[in-house]
Amino acid sequence: MMELFNEKPSNEKLTIHQIDSKTGLSVFESTNESEMYKYRLYIPIESAKKFDMIVNYCDNQKQMEFDFDQIDFEKLIKKTANKTYKQ
């Protein structure tokens, strides 16, 4: 786990929870965001080719959006807590 703080006068705190050290898959947890955007899943560009990508494109009409399963970020973070690190 790594924590970053903003130098401007705010109480914003960003915590990075590394989920997979091989791919760099991480959950970014922001204390300044609404509950809907509190957690975000990120991978470094170098690892992107290791993941499937969905391209929802049609050249003649707009396509329906996909509905994905909700991620339980708190459970995921707790599950991998023994793999986190502090800096």
Mean pLDDT per 10-residue segment, the chain (87 residues): 58 85 92 78 93 82 82 91 53
Domain ranges of the chain: 2-83
Contacts 24+ apart (CB under 8 A), 21-28: 21/83, 23/47, 23/50, 23/51, 27/73, 27/76, 27/77
DSSP state of 76: H
The whole model's pTM is what?
Answer: 0.68
